[in-house]
Structures are given as structure tokens and as C-alpha cells.
């Protein structure tokens, strides 16, 4: 059963259509990537999801029904525009935010030290938030989003201010939470993180869904018949059954013609005595898919306008 | 604990925990005490305390020194020295043994005139000393019933024909109490209202707002903040009232006119009611500003505009004294932010018909509802506007762009 069901939501602000038609479903125990370029409608969609904005059209179901006050306590949110009370101590600020999520003093006293320790903030808990570095503040906000053990976690650019060590810490944490059966919605522009973490994704632009599916489905959909090879010897000008050979840095991109399979091509290359270091089917990166889909979407959008 | 109470508690402790709060809390009474002490000390030090001579040609003075007089701290006591001839007294003034001398001529009891000789004008304290010295000796031996009441003068009570309104004579509290109400109102608005505005803008400025509204409803947040910040203002006023009560208790025997303070319950209830309603209007305005501005500095600069109409009755105080039912006092009574002070002043100086009091209450209630609606609208539109200021006309549209 899905924990989040977004059906055909739309939202306009004056004459600006921030979200035209967005639908997606998220199940528990997965990390769901909500992707899109700047101004695509991601933040508005999340705010509709969180009941901050009312949609003009469409519906949102959270944990089997519309949002209510009780469900707010089951959601952990790390917004893109983040910040904490600047002149309040880390400890006091996190305690306050945790009480607003329905936690008792005893629960906070039990869990907060564990989280502070995990994020290496124990020594800084008495400091005011404004005395912390940007990365530390982000970690404190992550604690605020997670301390009440929410069922749904919505995080916007969770790695933006973190160094590689803390990035890894957060990645491990997200995987751990996914394995615990939490529903995680992650917005990010870092496609390498999406490739590593997300099970499913939706790509939106101009307030519309351009692409949706599991990571494998998306990759398969955009996979070409091209082959990437790396060789110690230069390749011959022509290879039987190969339409084009293009050198790209250290490797060659080969486009087979007709029904030539990767297996046939490999056999042909070996037959010709070409010394191969690597031979791989060219699967486009998520970055490439993202750019391609957004470009195509924008062309369609301009034509429709 | 209810989330509204949690927000209110945090807001209260957040502001009360700040140095600024304690500085404001302590500096106001402390400043007042220092001001009184410095003024008294300067007066005490600058007054000429050398003796004053007198020549009693009327045979009036039988007791040079009051046997019951016990000088208090910083009390000025001038020694009165009897002289028999004017030349000696004049010589002593010249050689500065005396600061002055006066002659009580024969027949003083019918003319009540004395001649005062000095090289400089006597201060009011010196004049009072001389008058008190003469009065005390004039009364000695006489047994006049209700002497003190006769000296206090007459008192006229004004009553409307139907008996619904009345005003007590010329008591000093007729001026002091409305001004006090105005000042309390001003402090309440500037402290609580100011904290509310600051708190809302800060939450936007430091981007905490988005986390807050995914934990509490906008209503819980606004009501919690309002309760918390009003409590901060009430704490300030409560503390100052306590200090004032202690000061009055200590000073009550030294300042006899404090005993005249006798306010009617109706006056106090009506004034307080108007003050509370007007404060809600002001808090709503502050919240609207807070929700529409993007920085604390912007909010503070706009706040100044609220202070001006609130202070108008102070600027036009003369109009209330001379013609409390004139056009200007009436107009100021109908403006929600200047109504508490204007109406308190008018009620102290004249009879106000019941319909007018009802009208002012109606204006205040309608304004409070309207402004609270507007602040709610401003809050829902502006809470996530981090970089763009909401314009007033936007508040009357359905929704604004999210930037």
C-alpha cells in the first residue's frame, strides 16, 4: 500500500501555473527521487503534499487519507530553504522542534543525545545555532527532521552543504531508514546521488511529469545500442556492421548498424585482433537522461505555446 | 501540552531570556528612580539653606521652631531667626549671614502681607517655607473645625440629569490616570506588539517558518505567538506596577495627595476594555506587517507609522482639556489605535453619552475582527515569501506568486 498518492495536482499563483498536472505514488521502504530543474514546480508540489498549499485541482493522500494534524507528527521535513532559530542553543532548539512533533520530554532526553553523537554535534549542543558552520546547521536540521522517527521523510537537497564524510554519513542513514521501511522522498540536483540511492523517480518540469519509473526502467528506456570500448591499439577506420566510430576521450563510441548485437560486435572485434581493455553497452547516465528529457520537454512546451 | 501553549511558552521564554528584555525591564523604573534622585539632589544642593531673618511687628510669631517637625532624607529645613531691627537684618543679608529677611507688619492679620528683602528672587521651596512658617503661627491657639478641609477648597461633582454619568470635581487623577492608561497602552503595544512583529519576521528571515508550519497549523502558530508575546508585555507591566505599588506604599505618607486616588469601577472597566480591544487591533497590524515584510529592519521602520496615530491624543492634549466634546477629540476617539487614550481623557473631563461609548466599542470590535482577518491572510500569503515583500493590495487577491 502506498504511503503517498498524488493525483493530478495543479496550482496557480495569479497567472503563473506553478504546477499543471503532477501525479506520483510512493511506497514504504523506498527512496523516491523528485527531480526537476530550478523552478520546475518541485517545491510547490512538496508544499501541496505537506498541506502548506491547497491544490487548485487534484488530490493528495498521505498514509491512506487526507493530511491532518496527527499526520504532521508522522512526517519529517528538511526544506530547501533551511534555517534554525539563530540565537537559540542547538539543544534547546531541537528540543522545542521535537516537542512540536509530539515527543515527550523523556523521549527527547533519550533520543537527542544519540542523534547528536551520531552527527558529531555533542560538543556543540550548548552553542547557539548561529555559531555553527553551515554544514553543522544542516546536520542539526536533519536531526530535527528525523528525531521523532517519522514514517514519511521529505528531504530537499540533503547533501548541499555537507563535506564528503558527512555526505556518506547521510547516505548511510538514508539507506538504513529505507531498510527500516520508511518512505523517503528526496529532491536533489545531484544525479550521482539519485543513481546511488533512489529506487524510483519522477522528473518534472513546467509543472508536469516528464518521466516516471524505477531507476532500471528509466535507464532501459533511454538505453541505446551503442557500445563503448577502450583499446590499446587504434581502431580501424571501418568495422563490418558498424555504422560510425567516434573517439570520445579515452574510449570509442561505436554505433552498430542493422541487427548487429553487442555479442556479434564483440566477436568481430576479437576476430580482427583488436586488443580490448573495456567493452560495455553505452547506458546513458541519469545526468544525460535528465538533460535530454528536460530539453525535449521544453521544446514541446514552446511548440505548444 | 497543546501545541499552541508550547509555541506560547517558547516565545515567552525566548524573549524573557534575552538581555534586551531585562535591560528594558530594569532600566525603566531604575531610570525613573535615578531621575527623581538626581532632580532632588540637584534641588537640595542648589537651594540656599542659610537662615532667613524675620522682624515680627505684628506680634504673631509665638513658635519659631515646630516641635513636631521631623526632617526626612533630603528635606530642606531653613532656620528662621528673629530680629528686632531692620538695619541689623539688612547688614546680615549683606554679609551673607542671612539669605533674606521679612517684616511682618502690624495689622498683618487683616492684610496678610509681608515684605521680603533679599538680593535674589526666592525659589518656590523658600517661599513655601516662609508661608508655612506664617500659617503655622497664624493657626496656633485657634481651634478651627475642619481646618484642613477648608484649606483644600471646594469640590464639585458633575452629574447628568438621568444619573447615568458623573464626574468627580477637580481631582488630580482626572489628568494623571488617563495619561497613565495611555502610557501603559503605549508600552504594551511597543513591547508585546514589537516582539510579535520581530518574532514573525525573524522566523521568515532565518527560514524556520517552513519547519514550523509542517509541525503546527498556521492558527496554532499565530495564536501561540500572540499569547506568548502579550505575556511578555504583561510581565513587564506587572513588574513595573509592582515596583510602583511598593514605591507608593513607601511614599504614601510623604505624598498626601496619593490618597485622593479614587477611581470608579465603571471608568476603569470601560478604559481597560477599550485598551484590550485596541491592543488586539495593534497586534493584528503588527502581525500583518511581520507577515508581509522580509527583514526585521523593514518591519521596525514601518512600526514607527503606528506610533504616530497612537500618540496623537498626547500631542493634542490641550484640545481635550478645553473642549473634550470638540471635533478633534471625537475624531481621535473613533480611530481604533488612538481610542483608549482619547476616550479615557474625554471620560475624565466630561460626560459621554452611552451611544457614543457603544459606537467606539463597535468600531473597535469591527476593526479588531477586520485586522485579524487581514493578518491571517497576510500570514498565509507571506509566511514563505523569503525575498519578496507582500503588498497591501495582494492581501485582497486570492493568492500571490510563490517567487
pLDDT at residue number A167: 92
pLDDT at residue number B392: 66
Out of A117-131, B141-155, B223-237, B240-254, pick the least confident.
Answer: B141-155
Cell numbers given for B6:
508550547
* Contact indicator for B375, B287 with CB cutoff of 8 Å: yes
Query: What is d(CA B67, CA B100) in angstroms, rounded to the nearest whole number?
Result: 23
Query: What is d(CA A287, CA A129) in angstroms, rounded to the nearest whole number?
Result: 35
Query: What is d(CA B299, CA B383) in angstroms, rounded to the nearest whole number?
Result: 14
- Contact with chain B for residue A142, Cβ under 8 A: no
Query: What is d(CA B124, CA B101) in angstroms, rounded to the nearest whole number?
Result: 16
Out of A228-242, A246-260, B96-110, B163-177, pick the least confident.
Answer: B163-177
| Chain A residues touching B396 at Cβ < 8 A | none
| Chain A residues touching B216 at Cβ < 8 A | 72, 100
What integer is the mean pLDDT of A60-72?
Answer: 90
* Contact indicator for A215, A201 with CB cutoff of 8 Å: yes
Neighbouring-strand partners of residue A201: A33, A213
* Contact indicator for A269, A233 with CB cutoff of 8 Å: no
Mutate to test the interface with A, among B4, B10, B211, B212 (most CBs of A within 10 A): B211
- Contact with chain B for residue A77, Cβ under 8 A: yes
Q: Is the model more confident about B261 or about B107?
A: B107
Residue located via cell numbers 505684628? B58
Task: Give Cα separations from B217 to A71, A72, B199, B222, B228 (angstroms).
Answer: 12, 9, 17, 9, 16
All structural domains of chain A: 4-220 (3.40.50.300), 224-281 (3.30.70)
- Contact with chain A for residue B10, Cβ under 8 A: yes
Out of A29-33, B110-114, B182-186, B342-346, pick the least confident.
Answer: B182-186
Exposure of B194 in the CB half-sphere (CA atoms within 13 A): 19
Of the candidates A110, A114, A121, A113, the one whose C-alpha atom is nearest the C-alpha of residue A166 is: A121
User: Minimal Cα–Cα distance from A261 to chain B, Å?
Assistant: 51
Q: Is A193 helix (H, G, I), strand (E, B) or coil?
A: helix
Q: Is the model more confident about A128 or about B176?
A: A128
Residue located via cell numbers 469601577? B265
Residues A242, A243, A245, A251: is their CA dihedral positive or negative? Answer: negative
Q: Is a pLDDT exceeding 50 seen at residue B277?
A: yes
Residues A290, A181, A46, A118: is their CA dihedral positive or negative? Answer: negative
Mutate to test the interface with B, among A47, A62, A74, A83 (most CBs of B within 10 A): A83
Query: What is d(CA A206, CA A42) in angstroms, rounded to the nearest whole number?
Result: 10
pTM: 0.73
pLDDT at residue number A92: 94
* Contact indicator for B215, A71 with CB cutoff of 8 Å: no
Q: For A256, which DSSP code?
A: E
Tell me the percentage of chain A whose pLDDT exceeds 70. Answer: 99
What is the H or E stretch that residue A35 is in?
A: strand A31-35
Query: What is d(CA B234, CA B15) in angstroms, rounded to the nearest whole number?
Result: 13
Q: Is B311 helix (H, G, I), strand (E, B) or coil?
A: helix
Out of A148-152, A286-290, B251-255, B326-330, pick the least confident.
Answer: B251-255
What is the H or E stretch that residue A78 is in?
A: strand A75-78
What integer is the mean pLDDT of B229-250?
Answer: 82
Residue located via cell numbers 502681607? B113
Neighbouring-strand partners of residue A65: A62
Closest residue in chain A to residue B400, using alpha carbons only: A13
Neighbouring-strand partners of residue A32: A185, A200
Estimate the crossing angle of helix B354-382 against helix B339-349, to 10 degrees.
Answer: 170
| Chain B residues touching A44 at Cβ < 8 A | 402
Q: What are phi and psi of B275, to 5 degrees?
A: -65, -45
pLDDT band, residue B401 (cuts 50/70/90): very low
A120-138 as b/e, with b when 16 or more CB fall inside 10 Å? ebbebbeebbeebeeebbb
* Contact indicator for B342, B373 with CB cutoff of 8 Å: no
pLDDT at residue number A124: 94
Neighbouring-strand partners of residue A254: A227, A245
- Contact with chain B for residue A18, Cβ under 8 A: yes
User: Minimal Cα–Cα distance from B29 to chain A, Å?
Assistant: 28
Closest residue in chain B to residue A55, using alpha carbons only: B399
pLDDT at residue number B351: 79
Cell numbers given for B255:
505624598
Q: Give the one of B206, B216, B401 whose C-beta lies nearest to A16's C-beta.
A: B401
* Interface predicted TM-score (ipTM) of this complex, two decimals: 0.78
Q: Is a pLDDT exceeding 80 seen at residue B388?
A: no
pLDDT at residue number B386: 60
User: Minimal Cα–Cα distance from B401 to chain A, Å?
Assistant: 5
Q: Is a pLDDT exceeding 70 seen at residue B22?
A: yes
Neighbouring-strand partners of residue A60: A6
Q: Is a pLDDT exceeding 90 seen at residue B385?
A: no
Residues within 8 A of A (CB atoms), B 152-211 only: 202, 206-208, 210-211
User: Minimal Cα–Cα distance from A129 to chain B, Å?
Assistant: 11
Query: What is d(CA B287, CA B371) in angstroms, rounded to the nearest whole number?
Result: 9
Domain boundaries, chain B: 48-148, 169-396
Q: How many helices (H) and strands (E) does chain A have?
A: 10, 13
Most distant CA pair in chain A: distance in Å? 74
User: Minimal Cα–Cα distance from B233 to chain A, Å?
Assistant: 21
Residue located via cell numbers 534622585? B37
What is the H or E stretch that residue A134 is in?
A: helix A134-146
Q: Is the model more confident about A100 or about B133?
A: A100
pLDDT at residue number B46: 80
Out of A8-17, B142-151, B304-313, pick the least confident.
Answer: B142-151
Q: Which residues contact A88 (CB under 8 A, 6 or more apart)?
A: A96, A128, A129, B14
| Chain B residues touching A77 at Cβ < 8 A | 210-211, 214
Closest residue in chain B to residue A73, using alpha carbons only: B215
Contact between chains at A81 and B210 (C-beta distance less than 8 A): yes
Contact between chains at A85 and B384 (C-beta distance less than 8 A): no
Contact between chains at B397 and A14 (C-beta distance less than 8 A): yes
User: Minimal Cα–Cα distance from A79 to chain B, Å?
Assistant: 7
pLDDT at residue number B400: 44
Query: What is d(CA B300, CA B296) in angstroms, rounded to the nearest whole number?
Result: 6
User: Minimal Cα–Cα distance from A104 to chain B, Å?
Assistant: 9
Cell numbers given for B48:
540656599
Q: Give the one of A14, A77, A83 whose C-beta lies nearest to B208's C-beta.
A: A83
Query: What is d(CA B43, CA B40) in angstroms, rounded to the nearest whole number?
Result: 5
What distance, in Å, lies between the first and last C-alpha atoms of chain A?
39
> What strands, in cross-sheet order, belong to the sheet with B115-118?
B80-83, B52-56, B100-104, B115-118
Task: Give Cα separations from A299 to A197, A293, A305 (angstroms).
Answer: 30, 10, 10
Of the candidates A99, A101, A94, the one whose C-alpha atom is nearest the C-alpha of residue A124 is: A94
Closest residue in chain B to residue A144, using alpha carbons only: B211
* Contact indicator for A148, A97 with CB cutoff of 8 Å: no
pLDDT at residue number B161: 63
Q: Is a pLDDT exceeding 50 seen at residue B316?
A: yes
Q: What is the CATH number of domain B48-148?
A: 3.40.190.10
Amino acid at each position: 500500500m502506498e504511503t503517498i498518492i498524488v493525483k493530478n495536482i495543479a496550482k496557480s499563483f495569479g497567472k503563473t501555473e506553478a504546477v499543471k498536472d503532477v501525479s506520483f505514488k510512493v511506497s514504504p521502504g523506498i527512496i523516491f527521487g523528485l527531480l526537476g530543474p530550478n523552478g520546475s514546480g518541485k517545491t510547490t508540489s512538496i508544499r501541496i503534499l505537506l498541506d502548506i498549499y491547497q491544490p487548485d485541482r487534484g488530490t493528495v493522500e498521505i498514509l491512506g487519507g487526507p493530511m491532518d494534524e496527527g499526520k504532521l507528527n508522522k512526517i519529517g521535513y528538511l526544506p530547501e530553504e533551511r534555517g534554525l532559530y539563530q540565537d537559540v542553543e542547538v539543544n534547546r532548539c531541537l528540543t522545542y522542534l521535537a516537542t512540536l512533533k509530539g515527543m515527550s520530554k523523556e523521549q527527547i532526553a533519550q533520543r537527542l543525545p544519540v542523534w547528536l553523537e551520531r552527527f558529531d554535534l555533542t560538543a556543540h549542543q550548548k552553542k547557539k545555532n548561529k555559531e555553527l558552520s553551515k554544514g553543522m546547521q544542516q546536520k542539526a536540521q536533519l536531526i530535527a527532521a528525523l528525531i521523532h522517527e517519522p514514517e514519511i521523510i521529505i528531504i530537499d537537497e540533503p547533501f548541499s552543504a555537507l563535506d564528503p564524510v558527512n555526505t556518506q554519513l547521510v547516505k548511510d542513514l538514508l539507506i538504513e531508514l529505507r531498510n527500516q521501511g520508511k518512505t523517503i522522498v528526496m529532491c536533489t540536483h545531484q544525479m550521482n546521488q539519485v543513481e546511488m540511492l533512489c529506487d524510483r523517480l519522477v522528473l518534472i518540469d513546467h509543472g508536469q511529469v516528464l518521466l516516471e519509473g524505477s531507476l532500471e526502467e528509466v535507464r532501459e528506456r533511454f538505453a541505446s545500442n551503442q557500445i563503448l570500448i577502450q583499446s590499446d591499439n587504434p581502431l580501424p577506420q571501418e568495422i563490418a556492421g558498424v555504422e560510425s566510430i567516434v573517439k570520445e576521450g579515452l574510449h570509442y563510441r561505436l554505433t552498430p548498424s542493422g541487427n548487429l548485437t553487442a555479442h556479434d560486435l564483440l566477436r568481430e572485434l576479437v576476430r580482427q585482433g583488436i586488443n580490448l581493455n573495456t567493452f560495455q553497452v553505452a547506458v546513458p547516465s541519469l545526468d544525460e537522461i535528465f538533460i535530454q528529457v528536460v530539453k525535449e520537454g521544453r521544446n514541446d512546451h514552446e511548440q505548444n505555446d | 501540552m497543546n501545541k499552541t501553549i508550547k509555541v506560547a511558552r517558547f516565545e515567552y521564554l525566548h524573549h524573557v531570556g534575552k538581555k534586551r528584555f531585562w535591560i528594558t525591564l530594569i532600566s525603566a523604573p531604575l531610570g525613573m528612580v535615578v531621575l527623581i534622585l538626581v532632580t532632588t539632589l540637584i534641588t537640595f544642593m542648589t537651594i540656599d539653606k542659610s537662615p532667613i531673618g524675620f522682624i515680627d511687628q505684628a506680634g504673631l510669631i509665638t513658635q519659631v521652631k515646630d516641635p513636631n517637625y521631623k526632617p526626612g532624607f533630603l528635606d530642606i529645613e531653613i532656620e528662621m531667626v528673629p530680629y528686632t531691627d531692620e538695619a541689623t537684618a539688612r547688614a546680615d543679608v549683606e554679609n551673607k549671614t542671612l539669605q533674606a529677611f521679612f517684616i511682618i507688619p502690624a495689622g498683618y492679620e487683616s492684610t496678610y502681607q509681608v515684605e521680603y528683602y533679599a538680593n535674589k528672587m526666592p525659589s518656590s521651596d523658600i517661599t513655601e517655607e516662609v508661608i508655612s512658617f506664617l500659617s503655622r503661627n497664624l493657626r496656633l491657639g485657634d481651634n478651627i473645625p475642619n481646618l484642613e478641609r477648608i484649606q483644600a477648597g471646594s469640590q464639585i461633582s458633575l452629574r447628568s440629569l438621568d444619573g447615568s454619568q458623573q464626574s468627580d470635581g477637580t481631582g488630580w487623577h482626572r489628568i494623571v490616570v488617563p495619561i497613565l492608561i495611555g502610557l501603559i497602552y503605549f508600552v504594551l503595544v511597543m513591547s508585546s506588539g514589537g516582539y510579535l512583529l520581530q518574532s514573525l519576521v525573524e522566523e521568515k528571515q532565518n527560514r524556520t517558518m517552513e519547519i514550523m508550519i509542517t509541525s503546527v497549523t498556521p492558527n496554532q502558530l499565530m495564536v501561540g505567538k500572540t499569547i506568548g508575546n502579550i505575556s511578555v508585555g504583561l510581565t513587564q507591566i506587572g513588574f513595573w506596577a509592582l515596583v510602583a505599588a511598593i514605591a507608593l506604599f513607601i511614599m504614601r505618607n510623604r505624598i498626601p495627595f496619593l490618597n485622593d486616588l479614587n477611581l470608579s469601577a465603571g471608568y476603569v472597566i470601560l478604559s481597560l476594555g477599550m485598551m484590550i480591544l485596541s491592543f488586539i487591533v495593534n497586534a493584528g497590524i503588527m502581525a500583518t506587517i511581520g507577515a508581509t515584510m522580509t527583514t526585521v529592519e523593514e518591519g521596525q521602520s514601518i512600526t514607527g507609522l503606528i506610533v504616530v496615530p497612537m500618540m496623537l491624543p498626547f500631542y493634542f492634549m490641550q484640545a481635550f482639556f478645553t473642549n473634550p466634546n470638540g471635533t478633534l477629540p471625537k475624531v481621535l476617539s473613533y480611530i481604533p489605535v488612538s481610542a483608549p487614550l482619547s476616550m479615557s481623557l474625554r471620560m475624565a473631563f466630561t460626560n459621554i453619552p452611552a451611544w457614543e461609548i457603544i459606537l467606539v466599542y463597535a468600531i473597535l470590535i469591527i476593526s479588531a475582527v477586520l485586522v485579524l482577518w487581514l493578518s491571517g491572510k497576510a500570514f498565509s500569503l507571506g509566511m514563505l515569501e523569503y525575498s519578496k515583500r507582500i503588498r497591501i493590495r495582494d492581501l485582497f487577491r486570492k493568492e500571490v506568486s510563490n517567487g
